[in-house]
């Protein structure tokens, strides 16, 4: 092994550091990088960006400092998707941060002595914290916390985008737009087309002559877009396949410990990719195990939100 870089990161010494296993990118043309968290005796947690390739070499960039502790920070760890970071301190507290917005999601104060270690579970919504008070505490996250932590709107428009023409017809009737059903069916408007309709397309392409009807239709479509955007920010990231970036329907656990959509992972392996999509390490086995617990959680979430 060789040392690629040495950085003076904390004035009073470093107690822990952790890499996020989930790569991030600034754009399609930008190289991927990983988040690195460090904590130390200066009571601070710092976030760094690390990139490494044979072409560009190694680069470490300081990103931000997370505050909240009033005593030395002894431990830090990323969640499996990199959306959250947890830290434990001599001040006896555990703080959970949103890594995208740098804000505090939770502060836990149940330990009575120094918090020395913490760890996220890889595939379930659990956090473990350990302390010099001789206890290990196991925490479960509620949906509200997960909704706050790094949700994006792009990967979850699929509920409306997956609507058939018949679904669109039912939606029109529910909005008091029954007179438009025939026009929409004639033009094969499905969910994806519905979300892309504009004032111009309603008048020029669909030939809706009534100004009042066009205005009402446009208003209802705008409301639907707003609902889709709101819904998209609520889906927990662990319900999203790392390969397709879509909500999983048949999740399986691979030998790297991560969950994927079954068809996507089988396709990944069939192309002779014996490496993990998440870690890029060689998979010890190509056996895929159904993740029934995750599937049940997704189905429960769907039942709640699609009402």
pLDDT digits (tens, 9 = 90+) for 239-252: 888 888 788 999 99
Do 40 and 134 reside in the same domain of the chain? yes
Q: Is residue 149 part of a domain?
A: no
Q: Check residue 158 and give its pLDDT.
A: 45
CA angle 280, 256, 251 (to 5 degrees): 110
36, part of any domain: yes
Q: Are residues 107 and 67 in the same domain?
A: yes
Query: Average pLDDT, stretch 96-104?
Result: 83
On whether both 94 and 57 belong to a single domain, the answer is: yes
Strand partners, 305: none
Same structural domain for residues 112 and 179? no
The domain that contains 259 carries what CATH number? 3.30.40.10
- In the predicted model, is pLDDT for residue 307 greater than 80? no
- Mean pLDDT, range 145-174, rounded to an integer: 61
Top pLDDT among 118 and 227 is at: 118
The CATH number of whichever domain residue 117 belongs to comes to: 2.130.10.10
Does residue 204 sit in the same domain as residue 301? Answer: no
The predicted-structure confidence for 120-159, as pLDDT tens digits, reads as follows 988 677 899 999 999 999 998 764 555 455 443 333 344 5
Q: Are residues 219 and 264 in the same domain?
A: no
Domain count, the chain: 3
Residue 147: inside a domain: no
Structural contact between residues 129 and 139, judged by C-beta atoms closer than 8 angstroms? yes
Do residues 57 and 171 share a domain?
A: no
Which residue among 109, 142, 175 closes a domain? 142
The residue out of 215, 232, 249 marking a domain boundary is 232
Question: Are 30 and 94 in a shared domain?
Answer: yes
Phi and psi angles of residue 205, each rounded to the nearest 5 degrees, phi first: -90, -45
What is the extent of the structural domain holding 216? 165-232
The verdict on 109 and 227 lying in the same domain is: no
Check whether residue 204 and residue 246 sit in a common domain.
Answer: no
pLDDT over 60 at 13, yes or no = yes
Cα–Cα distance, 125 to 122 (Å, whole number):
8
Last residue within a domain, chosen from 109, 127, 142: 142
Length of the chain: 307
CATH code (residue 200): 1.10.150.50
In this structure, the answer to whether residues 98 and 138 fall within a common structural domain is: yes
**Considering the domain boundaries, does residue 153 fall inside one?**
no
Cα–Cα dist 15/266, whole Å: 41
């Amino acid at each position: 092994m060789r040392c690629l870089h040495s950085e003076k990161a904390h004035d009073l010494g470093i107690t822990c550091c952790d890499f996020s296993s989930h790569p991030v990118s600034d754009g399609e043309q930008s190289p991927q990088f990983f988040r690195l968290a460090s904590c130390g005796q200066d009571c601070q947690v710092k976030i760094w960006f690390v990139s490494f390739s044979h072409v560009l070499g190694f680069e470490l960039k300081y990103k931000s400092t997370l505050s909240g502790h009033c005593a030395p920070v002894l431990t830090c760890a990323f969640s499996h998707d990199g959306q959250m970071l947890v830290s434990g301190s001599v001040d006896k507290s555990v703080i959970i941060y949103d890594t995208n917005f740098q804000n505090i999601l939770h502060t836990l104060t149940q330990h009575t002595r120094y918090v020395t270690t913490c760890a996220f579970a890889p595939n379930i919504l659990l956090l473990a914290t350990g302390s010099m008070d001789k206890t290990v505490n196991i925490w479960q996250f509620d949906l509200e916390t997960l909704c706050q932590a790094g949700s994006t709107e792009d990967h979850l428009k699929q509920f409306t985008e997956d609507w058939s023409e018949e679904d669109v017809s039912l939606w029109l009737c529910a909005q008091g737009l029954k007179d438009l059903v025939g026009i929409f069916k004639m033009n094969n408007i499905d969910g994806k087309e519905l979300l892309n309709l504009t004032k111009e397309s309603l008048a020029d392409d669909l030939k809706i002559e009534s100004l009042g009807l066009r205005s009402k239709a446009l208003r209802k479509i705008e409301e639907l877009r707003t609902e889709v955007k709101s819904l998209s920010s609520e889906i927990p990231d662990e319900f999203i396949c790392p390969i397709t970036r879509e909500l999983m329907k048949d999740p399986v656990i691979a030998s790297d410990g991560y969950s994927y959509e079954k068809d996507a992972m089988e396709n990944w392996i069939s192309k002779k990719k014996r490496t993990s999509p998440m870690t890029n390490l060689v998979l010890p086995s190509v056996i895929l195990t159904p993740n029934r617990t995750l599937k049940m959680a997704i189905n429960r979430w769907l039942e709640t939100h699609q009402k």
